[in-house]
Amino acid sequence: MDYLSTLNEAQREAVTTTEGPLLVIAGAGAGKTKTITHRIFHLVKSGVTPSQILAITFTNKAAKEMRERVEKMATETRMNGVPFVSTFHSLGVHLLRTFGEAIGVSRYFSILDRDEQISIIKRALKELGLDPKEHEPRRIVAKISKEKGNVVSRAEYVARGERGTLARDVIAVWPIYERILARDKSLDFDDLLSKSVALLKLRPDIRSRLHETWKYLHVDEYQDTNAVQYELVRLLTGKEANLCVVGDADQLIYSWRGADSKIIMNFEKDWPTAKRILLEENYRSTATILDAANKIIEKNSNRHEKILRATKPHGEKIKIREARDEMDEARGIAEEIVSLIDGGADPKDIAILFRANFQSRALEEALLTLRIPYQVLGTRFFDRKEVKDLLSYLKSAVNSDDRIALARALVSPTRGIGAVTLDHISSGREGELSEKTKEKLTQFRALLAKIKQKAVEGTVKEALSIALSESGMIESYAKDPMGEERIENLQELINLAAKYDVMRGEDAISTFLADTTLASDQDSLEKNYNAVRLMTVHASKGLEFPYVFVSGLEHDLFPHKAMMSEENGDRDEEERRLFYVAITRAEKKLFLSYASSRMVFGRREFALPSEFVGDIPVELVDFESSSGGGDPFSSSGSYNDEPTIVWDTFKRNRKS
Residues annotated as catalytic (active site), given as ranges: 32-33, 220-221, 251, 585
- Would you say 215 and 48 are in contact if contact means Cβ atoms under 8 Å apart? yes
Give me the amino acid identity at 66: M
| Measured CA distances, 268 to 24, 131, 264, 265 (Å) | 11, 49, 8, 8
Residue 599 burial (C-beta neighbours within 10 Å; 0-12, 13-18, 19+): middle
- Would you say 579 and 612 are in contact if contact means Cβ atoms under 8 Å apart? yes
Pairing of the two strands 603-606 and 597-600: antiparallel
Partners of 625 in the β-ladder: 322
Torsion of CA 434, 437, 443, 449, to 10 degrees: -90
Read out DSSP for 171-235? HHHHHHHHHHHHHTTEE-HHHHHHHHHHHHHH-HHHHHHHHHH--EEEESSGGG--HHHHHHHHH
Helix ranges (H only) for 214-325 are 227-236, 261-265, 267-270, 287-297
Q: Residue count of the chain, please give it.
A: 656
Q: State the Rg of the chain over Cα.
A: 27
List the Cα angle 497/503/508 in 5-degree steps.
65
List the Cα angle 313/318/321 in 5-degree steps.
165
**Selection from 337, 415, 405 nearest residue 372 by Cα:** 337
Q: Residue 56 and residue 36: Cα distance in Å, rounded?
A: 11
DSSP code for 610: P
What's the start-to-end Cα distance of the chain, in Å?
51
